[in-house]
Amino acid sequence: MNAVLEVSALTKQYDGFRAVDGLTFSLAEQTATALIGPNGSGKTTTLSMLAGLLRQSSGTIRFSGSGKDPRSAIGFLPQYPKFFPWMTAIEYMELAAGLSGLGGREVRTACEKTLGFVGLGEAGKKRIGGFSGGMKQRLGLAQAIIHRPALLLLDEPVSALDPAGRREVMEMLKELGESSTILYSTHILNDAEEMTDQLLFLRNGKLIEQGPLREVREKYGDSGYRVLFRDPEAAERFAGAAPWAGSADGSAVMISGEEVSMQELLRYASEHPEGITDIGRSSVRLEEIFMKVVEKP
Amino acid sequence: MKQFGLFLGKEWREQARSFKLVWVPLVFIFFGALEPLTYHFLPQILESVGNMPEGSEFTLPEMTGADVYASLTGQYQTVGLLVLVLAFMGSLSGERKSGTGTLLYVRPISYAAYYMSKWTAAVLLAAASLWLGYGMAATYIVQLYDDMPGFSDLILFLLVMAVWIIFVVTLTLTASAALPTGGAAGAALGILFIGMMIDGLVGTYWTWSPWKLQSYGLAYLMGGPDTGDLAGALAVTSVLIAVLVMCGILMARRNAAKARV
| pLDDT tens-digit readout, A129-176 | 999 999 999 999 999 999 999 999 999 998 878 888 888 888 999 999
Read off the pLDDT of each residue in B121-147 and give the average, rounded to a whole number: 94
Contact A106, A114 (CB under 8 A): no
Question: Which residue of A53, A125, A127, A151 is the best one to mutate when testing the B interface, meaning the one whose CB has the most B CBs within 10 A?
Answer: A53
Residue from A84, A100, A151, A155 whose CB has the most chain B CBs within 10 Å, to mutate = A84
pLDDT score recorded for residue A286: 80
Contact A260, A241 (CB under 8 A): yes
User: Pseudo-torsion of CA A246, A250, A256, A260, nearest 10°?
Assistant: -170
Per residue in B215-252, pLDDT (tens digit) is 999 999 887 777 888 999 999 999 999 999 999 999 99
B72-120 confidence digits (pLDDT tens): 999 999 999 999 999 999 999 999 999 999 999 999 999 999 999 999 9
Tell whether the model's pLDDT for residue A257 goes beyond 70: no
Q: Is A3 exposed, middle or buried (0-12, 13-18, 19+ CB in 10 A)?
A: middle
Q: How many CB atoms lie within 10 A of CB A63?
A: 20
d(CA B88, CA B117): 13
> What are the C-alpha distances in Å from A59 to residues A21, A51, B20, B89, B260?
10, 15, 45, 36, 23
Mean pLDDT (chain B) is 92
Q: Which amino acid is at A48?
A: S
Host H or E run for residue A48: helix A43-50
- Rg of the Cα trace of chain A? 23
In the predicted model, is pLDDT for residue A261 greater than 80? no
CB-based contact (8 Å) between A104 and chain B? no
CATH number of A3-219, picked from 3.40.50.1820, 3.30.450.20, 3.40.50.300, 3.30.360.10: 3.40.50.300
Which of A53, A86, A101 lies nearest to residue B261, judging by beta carbons?
A: A53
Instruction: Say what the pTM is.
Output: 0.86
Please tell me the distance from the alpha carbon of residue A96 to that of residue B6, in angstroms, as a whole number: 10
Residue, of B47 and B255, whose pLDDT is higher: B255
Residues from chain A contacting residue B13 (CB–CB below 8 Å): 86-87, 91
Q: What is the DSSP string of chain B?
A: -HHHHHHHHHHHHHHHHTTHHHHHHHHHHHHHHHHHHHHHTHHHHHHHHS-PPTT---PPPPPPHHHHHHHHHHHIIIIIHHHHHHHHTTTTHHHHHHSTTHHHHTS---HHHHHHHHHHHHHHHHHHHHHHHHHHHHHHHHHH-S----HHHHHHHHHHHHHHHHHHHHHHHHHHHHS-HHHHHHHHHHHHHHHHHHHHHHGGG----GGGHHHHHHHHHTT---HHHHHHHHHHHHHHHHHHHHHHHHHHHHGGGGS--
pLDDT value of residue A216:
84
* Residues contacting B87, CB < 8 A, separation 6+: B20, B24, B122, B125, B126
Report the alpha-carbon distance of residue A61 to residue A243 in Å, rounded: 49
Q: What's residue A277's pLDDT?
A: 83
| Per-residue pLDDT reduced to its tens digit, B138-160 | 999 999 988 788 889 999 999 99
Instruction: Answer yes or no: is the ipTM higher than 0.85.
Output: yes
pLDDT at B203: 81
Question: Residue B114's closest chain A neighbor by CA?
Answer: A99
Return the pLDDT at A191.
78
Distance CA B132, CA A73 (A): 46
For strand A181-185 and strand A17-28, is the pairing parallel, antiparallel, or unpaired?
unpaired
Question: CATH number for the A222-285 domain, one of 3.30.2000, 2.60.40, 3.30.70, 3.40.1440?
Answer: 3.30.70
Interface test with A, best of B103, B109, B111, B118 (most A CBs within 10 A): B103
At A141, the amino acid letter reads L
Sheet containing A17-28: which strands, arranged edge to edge?
Answer: A17-28, A3-14, A58-63
Domain borders along chain A are: 3-219, 222-285
Q: What is the pLDDT of residue A163?
A: 86
Residue A91: the pLDDT is 96
- Determine the distance from the C-alpha atom of residue A6 to the mean position of all C-alpha atoms in its chain, rounded to a whole number: 18
User: What pLDDT, on a 0 to 100 scale, did the predictor assign at position A270?
Assistant: 87
Asked if B259 reaches chain A (Cβ–Cβ under 8 Å), the answer is yes
Q: How confident is the model at residue A265 (pLDDT cuts 50, 70, 90)?
A: confident
Torsion angle of alpha carbons B154, B158, B131, B89, nearest 10°? -160
Write the pLDDT tens digit of every residue in A198-248.
999 999 999 999 999 888 887 876 666 777 888 777 777 765 555 555 555
CA–CA dist B251, A68 (Å, integer): 23
